[in-house]
Amino acid sequence: MAFFTYIMASRRNGTLYTGSTDDIGLRAWQHKEGAGSKFTAEHDVERLVWFETHETREAAFRRERQIKK
């Protein structure tokens, strides 16, 4: 099983959102439908612009935190 760290955007030079998940396709769809998170729904963050894979959930989460810093 793979885990992912990803970045979503509202538009070019717009609002960014960083997260981690074990199903990148489902998570991208949820964001597009406004069900990803309250923040992404309010800011129209629905474009998947980048992702990377990790072997563990913990590694994906650590990378998410590293990016957010």
Tens of pLDDT, residues 1-50: 899 999 999 999 999 999 999 999 999 999 999 887 899 899 999 999 99
Report the pLDDT value the prediction gives residue 12, as an integer from 0 to 100.
92
Question: Which of these, 2, 11, 5, lies nearest to 46 by C-alpha position?
Answer: 11
Report the pLDDT value the prediction gives residue 37, as an integer from 0 to 100.
83
CA angle 57, 63, 68 (to 5 degrees): 125
Residues 1-24: b if buried by 16+ CB within 10 A, e if exposed: eebbbbbbbeeeeeeebebbbeeb
